[in-house]
């Protein structure tokens, strides 16, 4: 990548987990970054780590907040537009996960707002600043296609995100719209989904990053992919 014309990536939920691991690889590869997260302290720590390798703009806030999404759009304009938008921020919901018949509906609304409405809201906010041929990467899960008991809230929200991505791709053929299952990862969210259990057998998020990058850099058509299907990915469980 040319140092005189670096690409720009906007990565939501970039203070930990896959978002941070992907952002670190991108900035080391010469990308300019816009990152966000809800937690101020965690975002500041991520910024310090990433800014040592390149230009990073951190915007603290919640993607479910329209004002924050507008701030992301203003920041994107400052950098001359976005080549890659990664909708990684999301919400698990209650832990342990309740059965659907016991799921608090007001909480389910929050999960859908974070996992379905907010990603579309981010895309709508920055649409004027997406460069020609931009890549939109929506992070999904196998829970969006498999019927895991106890995962009805989170899983159905990811299923909704997948269909949203599918229609978005059909309506916008000039973009590459990917909905990507990164595989099981040893993250705070995954641990919260299995409270009290040992998840040390799950790979770290860094194991999924090579597959994510290979997809981003490819010319593959819009669609659903798994990080593990790419040659550069580390095997996952």
Would you kindly state where each structural domain of the chain is located, as residue ranges? 8-229
> Per DSSP, which regions of the chain are E strands?
8-11, 32-37, 56-60, 82-87, 130-139, 176-181, 223-226
According to CATH, the topology of domain 8-229 is: Rossmann fold (3.40.50)
Tokens of 1: 């990548």
Name the pTM for this structure: 0.91
Residue among 112, 111, 17, 15 at smallest CA distance from 61: 15
Known catalytic residue: 158? yes
Per-residue pLDDT for the chain (237 aa), expressed as one digit of tens each?
A: 444 679 999 999 999 999 999 999 999 999 999 999 999 999 999 999 999 999 999 999 999 999 999 999 999 999 999 999 999 999 999 988 899 999 999 999 999 999 999 999 999 999 999 999 999 999 999 989 999 998 899 999 999 999 999 999 999 999 999 999 987 654 556 544 556 665 466 667 788 899 999 999 998 999 999 998 886 544 332
The residue with tokens 């991520």 is 46
In sequence order, the 6+-apart residues with CB closer than 8 A to the CB of 179 are 137, 138, 139, 140, 161, 162, 165, 166, 223, 224, 225
Residue in 103, 112, 158, 178 annotated catalytic: 158
> Which residue in 47, 103, 154, 225 is the catalytic one?
154
């Amino acid at each position: 990548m040319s140092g005189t014309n670096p690409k720009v990536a906007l990565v939501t939920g970039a203070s930990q987990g896959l978002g941070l691991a992907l952002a670190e690889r991108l900035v080391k590869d010469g990308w300019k970054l816009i990152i966000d997260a809800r937690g101020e302290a965690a975002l500041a720590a991520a910024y310090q780590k990433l800014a040592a390798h390149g230009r990073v703009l951190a915007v603290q806030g919640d993607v479910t907040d329209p004002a924050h999404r507008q701030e992301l759009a203003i920041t994107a304009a400052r950098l001359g537009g976005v080549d890659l938008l990664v909708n990684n921020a999301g919400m698990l919901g209650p832990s342990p996960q309740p059965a659907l018949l016991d799921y608090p509906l007001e909480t389910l609304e929050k999960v859908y707002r974070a996992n379905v409405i907010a990603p579309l809201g981010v895309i709508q906010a920055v649409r004027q600043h997406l460069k020609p041929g931009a890549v939109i990467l929506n992070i999904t899960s196998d829970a969006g296609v498999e019927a895991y008991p106890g995962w009805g809230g989170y899983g159905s929200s990811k299923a909704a995100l997948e269909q949203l991505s599918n229609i978005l791709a059909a309506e916008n053929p000039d973009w590459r719209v990917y909905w990507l299952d990164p595989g099981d990862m040893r993250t705070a969210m995954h641990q919260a989904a299995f409270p009290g259990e040992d998840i040390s057998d799950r790979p770290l998020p860094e194991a999924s990053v090579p597959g994510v990058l290979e997809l981003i850099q490819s010319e593959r058509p819009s669609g659903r992919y798994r990080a593990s299907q790419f040659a550069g990915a580390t095997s996952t469980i």
